[in-house]
Chains A and B, each alone.
Chain A
Amino acid sequence: MLEPQSLHPGARVMSEMVKVTIDGTTVEVPKGELLIKAAQEHGTYIPRFCWHERMKPVGMCRMCLVEVEGVRGLPPACTTPVADGMVVNTLSDAVKDAQDGVLEFLLINHPLDCPVCDRGGECPLQDTTLAFGPGESRFTEEKRHWEKPIAVSDLVLLDRERCIQCARCTRFADEIAGDPLITFSERGGHTEIATFPGEPFASYFSGNTVQICPVGALTSKPYRFRARPWDLSAVETSCTMCAVQCRGALESSSNRLVRLLGVDSEPVNQGWLCDKGRYGYDAVNVDDRVRQPMVRRAGELVPCSWPEALDAAAEGLRNALAADGAASVAVLGGARGTNEDAYVWSRFAKGVLRTDNVDAQLGDGLPAEVALGLPHATIADLDRARGIVVLGIDLKEELPVLYLRARRAAEELGVPIVELSATETGLAPYAASVRYAPGEQAEAAQRIVAALGGSAAGDADIDAAAAALAGRDGDIVVIVGRANLAERADATVAAIAELASLDSARFLVALRRGNVRGALDLGLAPGFLPGRVELEAGRDWFEDAWGAVPKERGLDALGILEAASQHRIGALVLLGADPVADCPDATLAAAGIAGARFVIAVDTMLTESNRRADVFLPVTAWGEQDGSVTNVEGRVQRVTRKISPDGTSMPDWRVAAELALRLREDFDLATADEVQDEIARVAPAFAGLDSAILRRARDGAVLPIADHPDDLVLGRLSLALTDASWEPIAPGQADPIPPEPEPEPVSDAEADAADGEATAAGEAEPAPEPELARPALHVWDGAVTAPGKPGRDAYALRLVSSHVLYDGGVMTTATPWFAPLVRTAVLRVHPQDRDRIGVVDGGAVRVTSARGQLDLVVRGDVAIAAGTAVLAWNLPDRGANALVDATSLITDLRVESIR
């Protein structure tokens, strides 16, 4: 069992230790630490409601009053820092009286409707009353009454009668989320939680308030009345709704996923989840999952047996190979699955089919050369950075919990942020902003770099940005994503190259799709083999391991779709991919899908793209399969199966192995662990990270392990999910899944660490293969072909189209919870441009690009630069992808009013 004090190593680096006596036991604790925390870490639980470790103390519930020798009265342990020689009594009669008193007060107006309350059975007020309370109430007056429940947002309901006014939710909204949309209203005994009339608590993070509420005052619509706590069982896993991969405790009841709680992983999510991640689990439960294999017969997809479907798929592949060779076979997708899925599919595609036409991205990301080859930063590096440069991406919309981390770095830790983007992002209030016209970010980046070098740009914004980055020591962390899908990726790559010229720059490549990083790391990209190795560099090594690799570099997604549209692809595998929705160029994607001669869909649901498949192979979803995933910083962590899949779906990797068998290759892989072990053996970046290590790594491991020894903390873990979901949930490993046998220690040093915690850097690596040198990891050389400055059409507006959290994607539309949150498509332009178009806000316009045409409503917004038009990506029925030509550097729009 991990010692609790090891939970947050980052929070306590430079502390001087002092001696404090708590209930007669003298302990050493860091000077200045809050008494409530110091006591807890030494085994003394002081009851509390308002105090939360991740938020500033307010000392208002008064539950944690203690006696401190020499101090008059009873100070609250949550606001009292420890001092040397302090003598504390948490068990005295006076303390007990105060605890009785506070609990009696809290209960006088509490409805005590525990039998019908979601919190009943895991309620801190219930539990604390039982452990510390007076047992009975002397209150015989009438309780206060309020209408209940009221919706404070589309996801969260409020029961004001249950509320004990601890301000956890309001402080979370203000301090952590930066969305002060819920507040205390009124005063004294009438104090209630309220939103402003007509302005709901529309925070992307609202569900966290439900988790940290110490009573059942805040409940969530998705979980409300769905289960009782004693019917739940939990495993720890990573959310894969986006590439931050927040840690969570996934709970089910009667083989149905019912709840995801945030686990407090210090390096990753610090306990928080975004609402899309928190409530996305319900997409796994939906009825329109495909649960049986299908093959196309007489033009229709009809259910069949697995052997029939696999045979059909294998035959399709064989036919294509026989007809036109490996170059006519392609695999698109893989970012949705686990690392094991990605690896086995990579091995199947590259080692068996011998095609390099493989891409986990759909033209909506960044080239693998760049994404895998930049000097990497971790999420925790944001906390101690000299500065953060956010290039393009709106973290709040794409990787919400990373936004929280960056915001905290700025607000709490004083780390300056430079927001280098075409339009305002969620971080704008905390950042120095530099704007560029779409496609011209390289020039802006170059000017910042020059200004940092000492030559003033003469541009106030750029000089301010450079000044912000000049004030501190440390590295500059650049967070870069593919912000604007209406411009070609090389516009962003050129800007990355400029910033990469800074010695101190390190990068968080913020590609958003769930396990895109794992997929790229494991070779689902043209020109790469598993473990961040280039095709040529890894040729000998992988020929040795697999028997074969592709002869030459293949096509990326856009190339594959282009080739398919010209009928040059004989067999196309859609591995959880929906290019028609996700490829920036929908016209190309649709033509590609239509033009491929044989399509194999490996997916959980029918999509616009895979509806035309010749074979549909249903696979397991998140929560239904074990494995590992890799997040935005290159951290590998386990995902855990919580429920058994309905029907006969199997993991993606099993599908690949089955297909390989039908092509006469036996991978001999029976479990996800075996796949992990093979990855650790053959994929260079994963060296040392076998299933035994991964099972014991509290926070997973950042790759390559040798570069991040401190991030690998080993121990025997068990998820300590008691009734304390309202408190930070310590990370640990899944329970009560059957216990694994204690693995053999890899080395003496690590054996020493087995009972506690330790770091395992090189020691964890297996013995090197004797014959061959392990290939070197890919490093990007920074070479770019300058995309050139796009020509300016004075009558056109240049399109910015970026992802928003609640879009028209499968995950948001599959469940009822997010539907009300999906915005309608609006073209936002500067008011001047709106006036020039000759419409008022809400007026209808026809938007025409070189590629296509859309009818939209328009709205003026001073946050948009003149000459730029903003349209959210992938909203229902108004796909901006109809406007984008993937070969064009930028997308210019003609906008005319429709009368």
Chain B
Amino acid sequence: MNFNATNLARAHEIVAQYPHAKSAILPLAHLAQDQDGWLSPEAMREIAEIVGVTPAEVLGTCSFYTMFKRTPCGKYLVSVCTNVTCLVLGGPEILEHLQDRYATDPDVTVEEVECLAACGNAPSMQVNYEYHEHLNPDLAAAVVDDYKSGTLSARTISGGRA
């Protein structure tokens, strides 16, 4: 998928912010992901063209970073922390519960992530990079369901605003 007109203009603005165009790979990958819901090969190819490098170089950079989803994922990306504070306060149980509950739900992708810097209110998770803290398995499921029902309005897949 290619950038739409608005995002293409935005992409060129982003490139112009940097002394070297290659710096824009990460922001452009976020932009593409926010538009398409994932980072497709076509998007990486277009980014390569915009910043003047080969698609392989874009792949090399983007594949280093866990936020870039190079296979399609659900509309809601649920990122559950199980790092050492959440570990002892119930993170793994939340992860397991959500993974079971949404195992076959195409709209929800549940992933285990590293520390989200929300340990003061652990255990915590993000849905499309919006924080939800002080959770337990049922509360966490309720949050996800609220997104699915539209009670909560979600960010885009890379944490932007639609």
Given A196-B41, A196-B44, A197-B41, A180:B64 Cβ within 8 A: no
The stretch of B11-19, B54-62, B99-107, B121-129 that contacts the partner chain: B54-62
Query: Is B87 engaged at the interface, CB distance under 8 Å to the other chain?
Result: no
**With A and B bound together, what is the CA distance between A183 and B48 in angstroms?**
14
Cβ–Cβ < 8 Å partners of B55 in chain A? 196, 199
Task: Say yes or no: A182 contacts B56, CB within 8 Å.
Answer: yes
Q: What are the interface flags for A576-617 relative to B under an 8 Å C-beta threshold, 1 for contact and 0 otherwise?
A: 000000000000000000000000000000000000000000
B58: nearest chain-A partner, CB-CB: A196
**With A and B bound together, what is the CA distance between A196 and B54 in angstroms?**
9
The stretch of A184-192, A260-268, A530-538 that contacts the partner chain: A184-192
Q: How far is the CB of A530 from chain B (nearest CB, A)?
A: 48
Query: Is A195 engaged at the interface, CB distance under 8 Å to the other chain?
Result: yes
Task: Say yes or no: B54 contacts A187, CB within 8 Å.
Answer: no
Query: Is A194 engaged at the interface, CB distance under 8 Å to the other chain?
Result: yes
**With A and B bound together, what is the CA distance between A182 and B54 in angstroms?**
10
Task: Say yes or no: B56 contacts A195, CB within 8 Å.
Answer: yes
Q: How far is the CB of A163 from chain B (nearest CB, A)?
A: 15
Q: What are the interface flags for A639-652 relative to B under an 8 Å C-beta threshold, 1 for contact and 0 otherwise?
A: 00000000000000
Query: Is B63 engaged at the interface, CB distance under 8 Å to the other chain?
Result: yes
Q: What are the interface flags for A149-179 relative to B under an 8 Å C-beta threshold, 1 for contact and 0 otherwise?
A: 0000000000000000000001000000001
Query: Is A181 engaged at the interface, CB distance under 8 Å to the other chain?
Result: yes
Task: Say yes or no: B56 contacts A194, CB within 8 Å.
Answer: yes
Cβ–Cβ < 8 Å partners of A199 in chain B? 54-56
Interface size class of A (residues with CB under 8 A): 10 to 19
**With A and B bound together, what is the CA distance between A185 and B44 in angstroms?**
14
Q: What are the interface flags for A248-277 relative to B under an 8 Å C-beta threshold, 1 for contact and 0 otherwise?
A: 000000000000000000000000000000
Cβ–Cβ < 8 Å partners of A182 in chain B? 56
Q: How far is the CB of B108 from chain A (nearest CB, A)?
A: 24
**With A and B bound together, what is the CA distance between A196 and B53 in angstroms?**
12
Task: Say yes or no: A183 contacts B53, CB within 8 Å.
Answer: no
Interface residues of A in 188-211 (CB under 8 A from B): 194-199
Task: Say yes or no: A185 contacts B54, CB within 8 Å.
Answer: no
Q: What are the interface flags for B6-36 relative to A under an 8 Å C-beta threshold, 1 for contact and 0 otherwise?
A: 0000000000000000000000000000000
Interface residues of B in 107-140 (CB under 8 A from A): none
Cβ–Cβ < 8 Å partners of A195 in chain B? 56
Task: Say yes or no: B56 contacts A180, CB within 8 Å.
Answer: yes
Cβ–Cβ < 8 Å partners of A181 in chain B? 54, 56
**With A and B bound together, what is the CA distance between A814 and B151 in angstroms?**
69
Q: How far is the CB of B153 from chain A (nearest CB, A)?
A: 33
Cβ–Cβ < 8 Å partners of B58 in chain A? 196
Cβ–Cβ < 8 Å partners of A184 in chain B? 60, 64
Task: Say yes or no: B63 contacts A180, CB within 8 Å.
Answer: no
Cβ–Cβ < 8 Å partners of A179 in chain B? 54
Cβ-defined partner of B64 (8 Å) among A170, A187, A196, A197: A187
**With A and B bound together, what is the CA distance between A333 and B56 in angstroms?**
44
Q: How far is the CB of A50 from chain B (nearest CB, A)?
A: 17
**With A and B bound together, what is the CA distance between A198 and B55 in angstroms?**
10
**With A and B bound together, what is the CA distance between A195 and B58 in angstroms?**
11
Task: Say yes or no: A180 contacts B59, CB within 8 Å.
Answer: no
Cβ–Cβ < 8 Å partners of A196 in chain B? 41, 44-45, 54-56, 58-59
Q: How far is the CB of B42 from chain A (nearest CB, A)?
A: 10
Cβ–Cβ < 8 Å partners of A187 in chain B? 63-64
Given A180-B54, A199-B55, A185:B60 Cβ within 8 A: yes
**With A and B bound together, what is the CA distance between A186 and B61 in angstroms?**
9
Task: Say yes or no: B56 contacts A186, CB within 8 Å.
Answer: no
A182: nearest chain-B partner, CB-CB: B56
**With A and B bound together, what is the CA distance between A194 and B60 in angstroms?**
8
Cβ–Cβ < 8 Å partners of B44 in chain A? 196
**With A and B bound together, what is the CA distance between A197 and B56 in angstroms?**
8
Given A186-B64, A187-B64, A194:B54 Cβ within 8 A: no
A186: nearest chain-B partner, CB-CB: B63
A192: nearest chain-B partner, CB-CB: B63
**With A and B bound together, what is the CA distance between A182 and B60 in angstroms?**
8
Cβ–Cβ < 8 Å partners of B63 in chain A? 185-187, 194
B62: nearest chain-A partner, CB-CB: A185
Q: How far is the CB of A160 from chain B (nearest CB, A)?
A: 14
B41: nearest chain-A partner, CB-CB: A197
Cβ–Cβ < 8 Å partners of A180 in chain B? 53-54, 56-57
**With A and B bound together, what is the CA distance between A187 and B56 in angstroms?**
15
**With A and B bound together, what is the CA distance between A194 and B64 in angstroms?**
12
**With A and B bound together, what is the CA distance between A184 and B56 in angstroms?**
9
Q: How far is the CB of B10 from chain A (nearest CB, A)?
A: 24
Q: How far is the CB of B137 from chain A (nearest CB, A)?
A: 29
Cβ–Cβ < 8 Å partners of B64 in chain A? 184, 186-187
**With A and B bound together, what is the CA distance between A812 and B106 in angstroms?**
51
Cβ-defined partner of B57 (8 Å) among A183, A186, A197: A183
Q: How far is the CB of A411 from chain B (nearest CB, A)?
A: 15
**With A and B bound together, what is the CA distance between A199 and B57 in angstroms?**
12
**With A and B bound together, what is the CA distance between A398 and B142 in angstroms?**
67
Q: How far is the CB of B123 from chain A (nearest CB, A)?
A: 25
Interface residues of A, Cβ cutoff 8 Å to B: 170, 179-187, 194-199
8 pairs, CB–CB < 8 Å, chain A vs chain B = A181-B56, A183-B56, A185-B63, A186-B64, A194-B63, A195-B56, A196-B41, A198-B41
Apart from A183-B59, A186-B63, A195-B56, what 9 extra A-B contacts exist at CB < 8 Å? A170-B60, A179-B54, A180-B54, A180-B57, A181-B56, A183-B56, A183-B57, A198-B41, A199-B55
Closest 10 CB pairs of A and B: A183-B60, A196-B55, A196-B56, A185-B63, A183-B56, A181-B56, A196-B59, A187-B64, A180-B54, A186-B63
